[in-house]
A and B are shown apart, each in its own frame.
Chain A
Amino acid sequence: MAGRIRIRAQQKGDVTEVKALMRHPMETGQRKDQAGEPIPAHFIEEVTVTHNDTVVMHGYWGAAVSANPFLGLRFDGGVAGDTVSVAWIDNKGETGNGKTTIR
């Protein structure tokens, strides 16, 4: 279930606009289930956006980010046909990856 990313990268003039939607529960660890038991924390800790082989964004996330997070960013230097990839690692060591080409 987890691990999926939907990415789109579009060239807009000199800037590449990236939109990524990630499948993740982003549990804070603060919530309780119907039985009153705490729901264990499960959230993305690191997100990396790469253009070809260059890292264009690297971020540390925490429990304050919503479930199924939506990430939008813009960077310079992209050309149509280049590769853009997004990867995350969560607090359980699980990973998610997605890749697309700039259009």
Chain B
Amino acid sequence: MKEHLLVSLIPALPLVGALLLGIMTLLRANQPRGVSNGLVSFVALCGPVLAFAAALKLFLGLDAHPSGYIHEPFTWFAVGNLDVPMSFYFDRLSGVMALIVTFIGSLIHLYSIGYMGHERGFNRFFVYLNLFLSAMLVLVLAKSLPVLFLGWEGVGACSFLLVGYYFGDTEKAQAANKAFIVNRVGDWGFILGLLVLFGFMGSHGVWTLDMLTLKSHAALLTPAVATTVALLLFVGASAKSAQIPLHVWLADAMAGPTPVSALIHAATMVTAGIYLLVRLSFVMDAAPAAGYTVATIGVLTAFVAATIAVTQTNIKKVLAYSTVSQLGFMFAAVGAGAYAVGIFHLMTHAFFKALLFLGAGAVIHAMHHEEDMSRFGGLRSRLPFTAAVMLVGCLAIAGIPPLSGFFSKDAILYVQWERGWHVHYVALLLTSGLTAFYMFRMYFLTFAGEARDEELDRHAHEGPAVMNLPLLVLAVGSVVAGLVGLPAAMGGSSLAAWLEPVCGAPVDHLAGLTGDALKQATFIAHSHEYLFMAFAIIASGAAIIAAYYRYVLMGKTPFDVPRNLILAVFARKWGFDDLYQLLFVRGSIQLIGWGLDRVCDRFFIDGVVNGLPSLYTRMAGAARVLQTGAARLYAYVMVLGATLLFYFLLARFGV
């Protein structure tokens, strides 16, 4: 059927785009003008936009096709009991993800045409960006776990290529390495989880890695196996989505160009971990202990990252830690079993985080690639449009109603309390407050007050329309996206209801109650919701006022940092980088290097290479004694030898 073909077309289109661009660039590589930026931009844009169109068409057809569209163009490999086709599946969940990826991907492609316009590696950037989009779509639309892993690895590789875009700079290249290596640790967990699942299911006769088939046999899972698989997959997810302790790569990955940070490290790649856990929700459902662990780590990460963000002076690093923190929120939702809520926050976050990153990119572009906020200040007068959209983004992430961030964050907090995880709730509430605080700190330091660097400020101007249009679209999205996930008190989440066939229904505390008891329970639940909403608004509002007071009224700058121990810990990123440097760099690599040098090289190899000739020399020295040249000695030795030979022969052969 034609529609089914579209499913495979979605990841294929950007891939074709990347190949085309690559070939075009290579063919014209030695000519002075190469390929024109306009042509490259057009070809590059085709991939994501056409993919979006295809995704939209399929999405609109989902109501008629509730079970989704499946397409398996060819068999990837078949070994023994295992048959793995290259299978793609467009259902409600993957449809939502595909739309987010292609929509925001297209906007960022458009933005990049303006942002990267003066770069030498313009073509290369778009090749990698399209390649990335293709890999991400493979991941999202995968029906079988190896295909998902293919996309998983693909986005990791493209992240490496894109973060290391400025490969001439050693630090930036090392950041790319760090991203890839930490991701690799996660891949190890992922594969182990995959193997355990496959082995277990196989022992019950279900030899498949197709996610739908596995889901239908979910009843076979024991809590022990499910917990193991879930935790192992979470290791993979936490590397991809930068949770503690594998979060260290995201901040360094800001070394890549800003559109890369917006696309990969805000809206798409880092959400792959969440998507994985939601897709395999049947495993998580069978393992309540794993859910608690996931949520706890999510909450911890959210809090720690927020504390670090408060101390950062680089505008992109603030946003990076903010991403880590918000991902923690998403994991808290997923761990609590509220998968639709996690996806909801993923969606709203994609909008406002991409907006924030692209807006930051506009600022950086205006300030001639300066990223340090201590050199910003008072930019609202120079960049009014950027300031306006950034304000929208900051309000959204701070959780001010009626913008989208409020609804999604509130849903997450509500779910924590519902599950009885009160500590999680309080921690996340505090984190929300911190989020509002550091985001508005960033806003005020950049846009309010007086310009701190006259030279830079003088040349600051708004970017071209290609950069501003995506900002506008994302701003609108950040405002309205929340309407699909209203709390139950205000009508209920249409998103959650719509995703229910895939993600499962959230725990209904009102089930089994009727009549008056039902009315009372409903009233209590709704009033809880309003109460939590009030708490959230108070927390965020107070934080914003505090930030305003400190950075506008009191005019503090990044240089006015109070010197106390707590802030020092935050500024040191809680010592994670230092610990890893000690354990892994110094502890293992350098230790092994030292060991190899001392023991293997010096002791063994040099011992043999030097010792053997030395032995021969000493032996020769001993033998040299006989060479006196004295005839009498020779005569004597001859007689001696003859005598010995005579005795030997006598003993051997008898008289």
Real binding pair = no
- Interface on B for A, CB 8 Å cutoff? none
